[in-house]
Amino acid sequence: MKDKLVVAKYEAKGHRFEILVDPDLALKVKEGKPVSIDEVVAGDFIYKDARKGLKASPESLKAVFGTDDPRVVAMEIIKKGELQFTAEQRRKLLEDKKNQIVNLIAKNAVDPKTKLPIPAKRIELAMEQARVTIDPYKPAEQQVEEIVSKIARFIPIKLAKAYVSVKIPAEYASKAYKSVQSLGVVKKSNWGSDGSVSVELEIPAGMQQEFIDKVNALTKGSAEIKIVSVGEK
C-alpha cells in the first residue's frame, strides 16, 4: 500500500488537513460505496502538512469537524476534499471513468430513428466533438444523462428501454429461466402446461443484441425472442 499512497487534502475555516490514502479505495468512498476507513487511510494521524509530518491540532479538528476522532475526520476529508494524484494517475483515472461512461451509454442508448444500439467508438468520438468534461470523482452513472444531452447535438441518440418477450421451450425452461430473469426487469412471466415459460422483460435498449445472443446460448437457439418495442426511459 505504501508505494501507491496519495495525499487527500481539505481546507476549511483557515485550516488545512491532509491524510495519506489508498487512491483506489478513496475513490470508492467518494463514489458512495461502502468501504472501511481503516482500509483506506494509512495510520491514525491527521496532518496539516503530510509531507513534512506536521500534525493538525485537536483544536483545529474540533473547530472544523466538531470532533478530533481521526476516523470520522478522515472520512470527511476524503468525501469533501481533493485527492492529489500524479499526472499519470489522473490520466488513468480519467481514461477509466471515460470507458465506464461510454460503456454505460452504449448499453442504455439507441439511435431514435433506427431503434438500434450505437457503437461505443461512435459515442466516444461524439464525446470528443462535444468536448465533454468528465468528473473523475463522480460516479459514471450520475454523468450519463448530461453527457448524452451534449452529444445529441452531434449524433442521433436517446436513452431508452427495450421491451422483449421470450418463450423458452420446456427442455431448457427450468435451467434458463433464472438466467434470463437476471438480464432485465421481469414484467410478466407465465409457465405453460407443456413446461415452457414465457417471459416479458424490460432491458437497456443498447443491450438488445447482447440479450438475444445470451438467450440463444442458454437455449441453443430454440427460444422465441421478440423485440416488442423500444421507448424512452
CATH code, 165:
3.30.70.240
* Same-domain status, 144 and 92: yes
- Burial code (b: 16+ CB inside 10 Å, e: under 16) for 101-130 equals bbebbbbbbbbeeebebbeeebbbebbeeb
Q: What is the pLDDT of residue 3?
A: 57
- Number of domains comprising the chain: 3
Last residue of a domain, one of 35, 54, 84: 84
Residue range(s) defining the domain that contains residue 120: 87-159
Residue-wise pLDDT for 86-110, tens only, equals 888 889 989 999 999 999 999 999 9
Does residue 1 sit within a domain?
Answer: no
Instruction: Look at residues 84, 118, 147 and tell me which one is the last residue of a structural domain.
Output: 84
Q: Which pLDDT does position 86 carry in this prediction? A: 84
Q: Supply 121's cell numbers.
A: 467508438
Where does a domain end: 159, 184, 209? Answer: 159
Residue 96: which residues within 8 A CB-CB, separation 6 or more?
Answer: none
Low-confidence ranges of the chain (pLDDT < 70): 1-3, 233
Each residue of 108-121: pLDDT tens digit?
A: 999 999 999 999 99
> What's CA 130's distance to the chain center, in Å?
21
What confidence score (pLDDT) does residue 58 get? 94
Same domain? For 10 and 79 the reply is: yes
Question: What residues contact 36, with CB distance under 8 A and at least 6 apart?
Answer: none
CB distance 46 to 61 below 8 Å: yes
Q: Are residues 188 and 150 in the same domain?
A: no
- Decide if 217 is inside a domain: yes
